[in-house]
Structure 1
Amino acid sequence: MAPYHIRKYQESDCKTVVALFCLGMEEHIPATFRHMLKLPRTLLLLLGVPLTLLLATGSWFLTIMSTLILLVFLRLLANYPWKIIEINCLRTELADISKSYSVPGSCYWVAESGGQVVGTVSALPVGDPPLGKKQLQLLHLVVAVEHRGQGIAKALVRTLLQFARVEGYNEVIIETTIMQDRAQVLYQAMGFQETGRSFETIIWRILAIPKIHLLHRLPSAQEKGL
């Protein structure tokens, strides 16, 4: 197990950071597909359409082909929302990471092991926080598959939380999904609490994948003195 250290993002990291982000998005697609196949409405579709065709035409060929076409369609549908997120991020904040994270109170970190970037996490201030709150949003927590289980993700989150304390933030927020179950366990173990769920778009509602909102409250200077 090679040692790792966490440092701030540099321009030379760009290609690897973007590649890690894209791999992280792609990783959720198979789990989303499996999740869809377990939904009652999906099972009804996969059974109802082929059976209707069989009864209407008597053709087993059409029945089998319709099942295959439906499976291909569902696989593409599972791919769609993650690709949309990927494209949007690559066109906005990840198009120029240094510029996007030059905002005061923001930062982008990488975990390096053996001279290679193997993990990332970033933080941006929330533009319109609740009254009296100063919130930081955790984004892009990714660790390369072959380097998981080494405590890198936890170390990256700790780094971000320490940054938030130093910068005077009251709260750190995260938006994740039920597909990111390992991340949820990590966040909750580190003091994040679920504050609600919502569906960002109609596609997420169709897929029955809610966005999970998590929050970590940071003690104020007064509370620390108590």
Structure 2
Amino acid sequence: MTDLSAFPITRKWPARHPERLQLYSLPTPNGVKVSIMLEEIDLPYEVHKVSFDSNDQLTPEFISLSANNKIPAILDPDGPGGQPLPLFESGAILLYLAEKTGRLLPKDPALRYEAIQWLMFQMGGVGPMFGQVGFFNIFAGKDYEDKRPRDRYVAESRRLLGVLDKRLEGRDWVMGDYSIVDIAIWPWVRNLIVRYDAAELVGMADFANVRRVLEAFLARPAVQRGLKIPG
């Protein structure tokens, strides 16, 4: 039987199925990237809810796995060489799972790096900028009288949507075929509309390709399941 007791995180979140990949997460845009990926590749996993309400992300047990105290994080009992692998950062986890299973990442080396390029576009641009729109539009920043910070992030988010919309011309998905790039990007686009109430603010109506592909993404059964994990 697989033994994960050497990992402190299992003291706070015991593994009922230690032979399965352990996911520590919440249904945020970054969190659902991994749950959607796991649902898409049909890899058995056990999910543990990291509650922000009780500051679970700041506990020593969680930080022992995720040094940056951010979700999601995983503990794979069957990592490289058959040894357990702890991993944090959603983009790194997506790459790891794609390479572990040989799915949702192009095998051609040039296309693989092209996909990684667009994954970094999400990690370095879409996520941080859309998140700032959320902060200034519906969270604490909405009460600031000075709207210049909000408008700066709105303008940059609109620019990024324009880049994405142009990329999608003549393509079903960002890489042509469905990939980890889509799993990374579309939860953030959805959040911009549904959670941050910013569709009108960023002019979403102007980006027909973005709206088309978002609709296709949300229609996928694995996506629909992954968006609710953990419940």
Q: Shared fold (TM-score greater than 0.5)?
A: no
As a proportion of its length, which structure holds more strand?
A: 1
More relative contact order, 1 or 2 (CA 8 Å, 6+ apart): 2
Report the TM-score when normalising by structure 1.
Answer: 0.30
Report the TM-score when normalising by structure 2.
Answer: 0.29
